[in-house]
Amino acid sequence: MTRYQHLANLLAQRIEQGFYREGEKLPSVRRLSQEHGVSISTVQQSYQLLEQQRLITAQPRSGYFVAPQQLQAPVPPMSRPIQRPVEITQWEQVLSMLNVRDDKDVITFGGGSPDMEQPGLKPLWREFSKVIRHDSGDILKYDALTGQRELREQIARLMLGAGSMVTADDVVITSGCHNALSLALLAVCEPGDIIAVESPTYYGTMQLLRGLGFKAIEIPTDPVNGISVEALELALEQWPVKGVILVPNCNNPLGFIMPDKRKRAVLALAQSHDIVIFEDDIYGDLATDYPRPQTIHSMDIDGRVMLCSSFTKTIAPGLRIGWIIPGRNYDRLLQKKYAVSGTNVPSTQMAVSAFIREGYYHRHVRRMRQIYQRNMEIYTGWLREYFPCGICVTRPKGGFMLWVELPAQVDMVCVSRQLCRLKIHVAPGSLFSASGKYRNCLRINCALPPIEKHRQVMVKLGEAVKMAME
């Protein structure tokens, strides 16, 4: 967290606690600079952030004042899904979402793409050019089945930050995290098997289970602490569950970071019932606080955690570079990879490997964490301003997704159809459930920069929700 963000959080807490009252003038920029030992520009940035959050207002030649306070929306409660294995639906809605990706006239609030317009990606283009100029022969050859060794070495180094002690020989390169997860499931499961998932969970994971012939059992999940260990244990006692898919760090769509104590409890449960944990860590490097949270894999001693990740959310989805650390299922995983997807593209691996090696990756990710945190604060302010009372909003600890729970009478599936006519595409909550629950919820992609065009979309979205409530 930067100095200006830390100062802004401190001032926000004081406002919420009543230390500074509504309409009261705040200390001058110079005074705050002296009191906290920071530069004037740091204080100015803090005040700008608080303005964006609608906590303060600036009056020319007078200073900054506490704005009329709007109550902060509560966090959604623990989910209550159907706790039995079900066939997965919602494919048609997911397909319609995928089909609008290439339509430049559509504003895709429901998508999952990161911000790829930042200058931190420019060095990657230079590395691509170098690879094409100097390694033209190698990039046209078959790749090793496990992927480029140098990239696997760099990934092993990155995983140290998450507490996972691995070598290049433990890592297998895949075509994105989706491919990694599918190979992991194929390596240890058979069609008809039951897989436990968080509820709500990423719609791509749901459709992956459907495509491979698995059934899903949704487990109640808390938007602050993650999956209910008690509910998972009950499911394991009642049903022949083969494994559990978890996104414990910067969860999609809820944004929580599962506490280490709960991670250990889930791992102990998996050990006692002899099931596999499929850990999706795709957002882990985008955690707001540093150091980044540990993986469940880092706590594993018997190789039952299959860790999947990629550079899709941290760099760009078009790279199609992911990886898996399969543990004790390494040999079966490699055979499935050969049978299903074969080898990967050498050129992108070589460019990304150099991007990490030269230090560009860490700088880029550090910058993106700050941008996404600021974006989510602004979008949360817009939700308070433009949406009706009675909504619940998550408090993500990283990533760039917001989950919004609306009053029960709002059907976001119907609202989303209306918004499509306005060239606005959102992700209704029903996509994130095997049985179509959460119709009164939606997920918002805060990687979209908070510019005027997107503010206007939030205004229209709020109006559509208000109409649905009438």
Burial of 470 (0-12, 13-18, 19+ CB in 10 A): exposed
Give one DSSP letter per residue of 101-112, joined into a string: TT-TTSEETT--
Q: What is the DSSP letter of 171?
A: -
Q: Each residue of 382-435: pLDDT tens digit?
A: 998 899 888 999 999 999 999 999 999 999 999 999 998 899 999 999 999 988
For residue 419, give the H/E element and its range: helix 412-420
Q: How confident is the model at residue 377 (pLDDT cuts 50, 70, 90)?
A: confident
Q: How confident is the model at residue 88 (pLDDT cuts 50, 70, 90)?
A: confident
**Distance, CA of 432 to CA of 227 (rounded, Å):** 15
CA dihedral 322, 163, 333, 206 (to 10 degrees): -60
Q: Please report where in the chains the tokens 């906590």 appear, as a residue.
A: 55
Residue 69: the pLDDT is 66
SS3 breakdown of the chain: % helix, strand, coil, rounded to 5?
Answer: 45, 15, 40
Per-residue pLDDT, averaged over 257-281, amounts to: 98
Residue 43: the pLDDT is 92
The CATH class of 91-117+362-469 is alpha beta
**Distance, CA of 335 to CA of 337 (rounded, Å):** 5
**Distance, CA of 285 to CA of 290 (rounded, Å):** 9
Which region among 77-81, 204-208, 296-300, 391-395 has the lowest average model confidence (pLDDT)?
77-81
* 3-66 CATH choice from 1.10.10.10, 1.10.3720.10, 1.20.1290.10, 3.40.50.1820: 1.10.10.10
Give one DSSP letter per residue of 259-321, joined into a string: -HHHHHHHHHHHHHHT-EEEEE-TTGGGBSSSSPPPPSGGG-SSS-EEEEEESTTTT-GGG--
pTM, two decimal places: 0.86
Across the strands, what pairs with 323? 173, 309
Q: Please report where in the chains the tokens 């997807």 appear, as a residue.
A: 341
Name the residue ranges covered by the structural domains of the chain. 3-66, 91-117+362-469, 122-359
Cα 9 vs. chain centroid, distance in angstroms? 22
Tell me the HSE value of 188 on the side-chain side, using a 13 A CA sphere.
Answer: 25
Q: What is the CATH topology of the domain spanning 122-359?
A: Aspartate Aminotransferase; domain 2 (3.40.640)
**Distance, CA of 204 to CA of 213 (rounded, Å):** 14
Per-residue pLDDT, averaged over 215-223, amounts to: 96
**Distance, CA of 83 to CA of 220 (rounded, Å):** 8
7, 9, 69 from 14: Cα distances, Å: 11, 9, 13
Residues 311 and 353 sit within 8 Å (Cβ to Cβ): no
Residue 71: the pLDDT is 58
Look at residue 189 and give its three-state secondary structure: coil
What integer best gives the mean pLDDT of the chain? 92
Peptide bond into 123 cis (omega under 30): no
Q: Is the pLDDT of residue 157 over 90?
A: yes
Who wins on pLDDT, 72 or 175? 175
Residue 70: the pLDDT is 60
**Distance, CA of 351 to CA of 124 (rounded, Å):** 7
Helix (H) and strand (E) counts in the chain: 15, 16
Give one DSSP letter per residue of 366-410, joined into a string: HHHHHHHHHHHHHHHHHHHHHSPSS-EE---SBSSEEEEE--TT-
Burial of 141 (0-12, 13-18, 19+ CB in 10 A): exposed
